[in-house]
Structure 1
């Protein structure tokens, strides 16, 4: 299916839709399904064939069955009923698959009946069997009465199928050997005529001529043959042979041979381009792909036109070529996990678009064969003309082999008139626009779809305004572009669709369109320039009034938003002043923002100060209309609270500028100690008196000048005082201690431990863990072996030692430990260090 946008065209097109060739099974369980987006691998195939194979689908693209000559699989991929024992393929006297071991052809006007033609490999003959798809619940079966019916006693491994002129009936063609006789069997609605049409082709074959390919063109008028060379006496095995075929009579005659540039690589796969202008040939040995231009019909010219379009494959050699339902030629190579593809086979040389790795087979491999199909394309062209709105559009179908057509004009508003089955219909479109036209040609059970676009142009019109004014600095564009335009001619000889006027003068155009030729003109008058500038927005600092405005030329009127009409005015207040200047060109406006502001103050804050005792205070800023204030914390409040050392600044600003005043405030901080209140302590204890400010100086009543001192034990009542000085601030702190032995807590707790440790997992004495009646708040247990090496350490009294060192069991023997602990008693004498030993046994 192709989509084209043209005014008039004649082009043969190929349809891409559901077809008898939508499913392919081949090679080693390889499969492929043609979908609307392209071919995809299918892994359901059950067939293994080194060479030939065949597949058939119904006209809706549903798989029916596939074969390799001696067996048939149905659509469920199971053996077809009564397909065992077919004569074909390797059922001859020698083993191996035939190159074209099977071919499937439908019986016209009998949608359930198909003929399966088979040939035996090497020196076998040709047979047919009938398959009835109405049997076995719709899965089909080989008809017992028409199974393995002999047609030719000795053939090559090649056969092909071409259509008769009515595109309904078929010819199945094979070559008998030895000799030059071609057999053409006719298939019509009446069935297979087993009496063949015989032709003496003029190319005699010997008994050893057998392996190769026989392919008919989509035009049903040419047959190409390749032949693998196996014997010295074979008939011209190095050439590719072309035959003429008369699809009316079934007569086949030899035309000429193509001589490839390489003579010893054995020609094998062969296929015509859809238009019949090119022939593609693949080498059996090198798997290279060559293209020949057939249009001259001269053997020497055709041979010299050879172009290598596909690179060789490094596997086991080349195989079959087969045209797909998408109009592309697919290329198989022996033992390859993908198929190559010729994307544009109707184009010459490199333009044919060879793709070496076009379709992945998703695991299975191709061998040397692909399914063979009878010609399934029909050719023709259509003609569509763009029209003017209101005219009748005519459509022409040139598909000589079609038996019916269907048109859709893409104009649903026309109701039942939007479609037609006439060969050459007409249609009147309801509105101008671009419409999508669909044409489907039918021939027997073939179809070809073409999609084109047709333009329905509006009537051409040019409508210029009356004589017009062009003001200075302006451009006047006359753009008359519209659908259906052919050419334009302006008064200055220019031919663009648009003309730009820049000065006074006559503008005239003649417009040549598909539907009309029209002329129009307009006189353009340009006025003198206008220059009036109020200037940029203005800030006035300290002044009481200013004058604004500009001069204007004669013919312009001035109006201010103040009501004044003079070009200059005096103003004394902040406002936006707007002036309108009008003339025959229209009205232009300008504006200026004038803002009056007071001068800024030169002092905002008091001088720097020191605060000794952290007492906060509040600063208050001035208030002046037209001035904005911002504190150092980005606030704009009237007051600012100061509670710590900092540099406070206050900024005053307006459009005239900014002034910033600063004040350095130093808070020495609240001078503190952690003495606490007077208290009674144990007479065995001492207390550390500490200052908290490392920047301050200290003078104790003991004469000490350090920031911390210890109390003494020799007095029952003690008083301590300290003078703390920091900068210009000072403070005196004091505390009294009374010593009393009644306040001392008792320290009578004990630590116990076992001197034998048995970590054997029996749940008894598996951990070495000292126990105590003390209220422990500081604890450290360390264990050493007899060489003094640390083997365990913990600071948690709840944990013990399980007898392992770095995940390994410790050896038996004596181990030593130290226990450093402190009871929850606030006196200095409550710390104990305990040492001992124990024995580890297992």
Structure 2
């Protein structure tokens, strides 16, 4: 194993006068689609309670102890309880603004915060070329039970502006500058204990960005406050970008000494390292042939170099897998790491941004968001939050970590707490520049209490990350297949596949690869690990393995190429699990079972292309999605002990999933059985009863499961619940007739659980039938599609008139249902109360005569005593 020396790393403390409260104000972030991170432990821990859903703009602020105060997307302000703050809607920021909002605490106040909101290109596009301007709102945290209230809103500082804003502490160590940009000018606003000075210091410098379509891009001050960097994301008249750097006077607010750092990318995000000596920016490559932006590059410049522009170092080149022309934000955290955000389920991170080149240690998509997603924005802060005056060296486990104080202010006394109680008495020190051997790996919170000779006492914190010294296998073989058919010992490699061979537990480790040992020691001129083409069989390259970039070991990797027997393409059936028409979804587990029989004991992985299979990129783990227009094919790689054995192609015979649904079926009380079925036209059926027919008859309520097949492993399962409806405990049909409103009423338990029908009429939910004519009716009671009960009843009553003219129609007055009411006693009276006729219910009726003489047309009255004892009265007309 090649032992190496460890060089120093500059770390900065959160060092400020107490008036700035600059300890953990930037500890909690909310951004993206309800994503969040907290850095209170020194590590990025996901927060899952946020309410923001923002494309770019976001901001959050905590107090000096790291307790969340509020957060915003520039339009809506949320309390720490994730509720909208009173008067917290309608701010003039935007979810689609690069830096829509920035929060500044009022100096010497424990409760007042200012939310500065930047302009938005979209506001110009929708307001006939006018923006919403640069504004600020005021939050009073003493109100609303300590949750805050927006007491003033949208106080305008500029009537038009750009999407850029940054802030930094003034030279007095107490007040702040808030800086924005518009066209060819920078506007610096002073924030003091008296509030916001609305008369800015204006620096007319740099290009005149006059087209509002080009107002996108971030701006940042260095933490020490001596420089400002700005990105111009140019969309019109064509894609391009600029990264410019200016000197900034923290006393006067004036910008000077413009430097065009680079214009090779469509720049968007920018950030300084905590020591203010390194500058990072994100930008997209513009491809004129395609007339669009493509790769996202994260680049670095060394600000200590005599020629800054010549120090461009590409930290990462990320494939553009999403629509849009923004390269994503860069933001420093209180742990001194810089994070990069584009739409994804994780953030990328620069672990050691105070270092230049490979020593900065960029890790793509290394910081999980706990299932939430990021977009293009991260919350900006007062950059002075990240300034400090302490340098530390040596971070390998077992080494003495050395601390150095770098300040011109005389110190009377100092007290160190290394946040390492397991080290016993050594956890504390009163030396000016102590050393400490940390007891384990991990992140430690170092607290420094300083008493200056001028009588001021300050407390600082620092997160120190101690990395494990890698235990590296000194020599490994990385075996690749030779897939071109020529036994020449040459192929292409994914060198990252050597990392699990080099380190037994590779979690947290990475490696850079080099052609020579000297390059590996210097950490310079690394080779791209993806797609490296070896020069000969058995070529030796060098891997620099590390957790911390300056705590590493170097090992040799031998690249071996094995001749591969050409596998014939094979055709395999595969089930389409997609419910939509535009994509085919294949579960690779369906294929793995078959291949495992052919290659027992081997590791088999799947890839969308042969190149991916060779380089082991874009691994398909669960589902393989194929656009309906693409060839239905997939590639697989067979390995034994991490050595490539075979690469093969599968032509997929697409079978379509049955896609059946669960059912609920009712077995009616008067039916002995019911037939259940998932549907016809499937190749095979498997019932939980053991039957294999398309349908089965069941006579017992219960749960039945059926699986249908359209081919091997192309199946779906449904649950069919068979239930029998409850029948009523009591039921009676009551007829209320011989009245002006004849009714039939069904008296039943839980009447709302049933439906009711009368003859052939539609079902109804009410058990009452009104305004019925006399005559017979059949009453039906239903529940869950089952006929529970039926009964035929008779509604009785006399006619309203009769015409005794022997024409065969209405010649007699008689009651309905003579047979059923044969014992009824009927009396008929004229208008003077004289009884004219008496008869029984079964009588043929009255013919309109009295003592054989016809009576005249008039109204007559009746009294009927029914069989059940009721007496009904009424009148009718005799018409001649």
Using structure 2 for the length normalisation, give the TM-score. 0.42
More helix by share: 2
Using structure 1 for the length normalisation, give the TM-score. 0.44
Q: Which has the larger radius of gyration?
A: 1
